[in-house]
Amino acid sequence: MSALQPVRGTHDLLPEDMRRFREVADTARRAALCFGYHEVATPIFEFTEVFKRTLGDTSDVVTKEMYTFTDKGGETVTLRPEGTAGVARALISGGLAQHLPLKYFYVGPMFRYERPQKGRLRQFHQTGVELLGVKEPQGDVEVIAIGVEFLRRIGAWDRCELELNTLGDTPSRQAYRRVLIDYLNDFRDRLSKDSLDRLEKNPLRVLDSKDENDQRIVADAPLYSDYLSAEAQDFFGRVKSGLDDLGIAYRINPRLVRGLDYYCHTCFEITCADLGAQKTVLAGGRYDGLVGMMGGPETAGVGWASGVERCSMLLNETPAAARPIAIVPLGEAAERKAAQLAGELRRQDFLVDLGYSGNMGKRMKRANKIEAIVAVILGDDELAKGEVSLKLLDTGEQKNVRLTDLEAALAAYR
């Protein structure tokens, strides 16, 4: 450990990273806005109970990954590992259930104590949507369509695959649970410790095991789809036909179970093979039981979250920084005028860079280095005539402009 290194699994977003980050986050926000969603932000820490109760005792997140600490007042709080629990808490504490349906979008940092590797960080960021108070399958379809639209806009959708499954309703789960326990019981001596624990507490989660040996055992387990109630099948059928109507391709993956405990009916993941091992870029599902389980009014919910860092890796190019206008004063009077002029232009929302010192050569070099689009050169003689010189840095073309016409002459470079 060195105090001069970033904490393992965290990283700085320097300007280029930040531009990729913004591109992803702004595109997700824009896509959600187009569907009538509103942006919200919940605190980045909550009482630990909020996550413990909602994510369940067997989730990886609760058992291993939470950043939990006691604050100076003796409260146990946790840095949020995901966004849904906070939104559900806000619905309850804000009495928002009277305003359903709610259509929310968020973006922000999440924290999980995981083993850092490519695409897996301890502080990462998610964009997400939550649709609350809609129990119809049209809600699931809409939420998935937002995710697809977002990935289409960042140029990644044609390299992605949507995997879809259903976790059914309570009667289906109960029926399948018994069958699965019977099957897994025969492998007790070979299952991983985590899976044995889950077998006791929440057997469905064994299907989600990352242990290779477990995965081999699970591959031959009875299929949940054979135990779905007629209602659950109908619900799933309507989600699928809704996606078909929108031309959204998907692959049914009967082994797909989400890592978090509160899902029912639809669950989905969008993966991109380009990313290698951590290839899930967006994941979500329906969580009708969540708000009720937290102690609020029974409220249907469906949503997804997407990792901004993973999506950033899918961008085809880094968005360019906006190019500034460089002001280059020559002489003392000009220098004073330059500061004034920069102020005026900035008030008109031009991007203006003004160096701090140096002769013409040094300042022009800097203008080129920061990739200014044009330099406004202020000489004492020209200024006396009420003129400045504009130099286009890409072509070297140069012309004199009257100060009074400057704003109009620069309009093209705003």
Helices 193-201 and 170-185: angle between axes, nearest 10 degrees: 140
**Alpha carbon distances (Å) from 203 to 15, 188, 199, 218, 381:** 45, 12, 4, 11, 83
Which residue lies nearer to ligand ATP by CB, 38 or 118? 118
The nearer residue to ligand ATP, 172 or 312, going by C-beta atoms, is: 312
Site string for ligand ATP, 152-181 (x = CB under 6 A): ------------------------------
Tokens of 259: 């890592």
Residue 303 interacts with ligand ATP (CB under 6 A): yes or no: no
Q: Which C-beta is closer to ligand ATP: that of 205 or that of 337?
A: 205
**Interface map 76-95 toward ligand ATP (x if CB under 6 A):** ------x-------------
Nearer to ligand ATP, 58 or 306 (CB): 306
Distance, in Å, from the CA atom of 238 to the CA atom of 301, rounded to the nearest integer, reads 17
Closer residue to ligand ATP in complex, CB, 82/130:
82
Q: What does DSSP say about strands 352-354 and 325-330: parallel, antiparallel, or unpaired?
A: parallel
* Interacting span for ligand ATP (CB under 6 A) from 121-129, 229-237, 249-257, 387-395: 121-129
The span from the CA of 292 to the CA of 83, in Å, is 17
Instruction: Between 125 and 337, name the residue whose CB sits nearer to ligand ATP.
Output: 125
Q: Find the shortest distance in angstroms from Cβ 124 to ligand ATP.
A: 3
* Residue 347 beta carbon to ligand ATP: minimum distance, rounded to whole angstroms: 40
Coil/strand/helix, residue 390: strand
Indicate whether 124 belongs to the interface with ligand ATP (CB under 6 A).
Answer: yes
Alpha-carbon distance 157 to 155, whole Å? Answer: 6
Which residues are registered as beta bridge partners of 185?
none
Which stretch in 85-93, 97-105, 184-192, 277-285 sits in contact with ligand ATP by CB under 6 A?
277-285
- Closest separation between CB of residue 361 and ligand ATP, Å? 46
How far apart CA 269 and CA 304 sit, in angstroms, is 9
Backbone phi and psi for residue 115, each to the nearest 5 degrees, phi listed first = -80, 115
Shortest distance, position 269 Cβ to ligand ATP, whole Å: 7
- Give DSSP secondary structure letters for 252-309: E-TT---SSTT-EEEEEEEEEGGGTTS-EEEEEEE-TTHHHHTTS----EEEEEEEHH
Q: Please state the length of the chain.
A: 414
Per CB under 6 A, does 112 bind ligand ATP?
yes
> Binding residue for ligand ATP (CB under 6 A) from 66, 239, 305, 367?
305
Binding region for ligand ATP (CB under 6 A) = 82, 112, 114, 119-121, 124, 126, 259, 278, 280-283, 305-307, 309-310
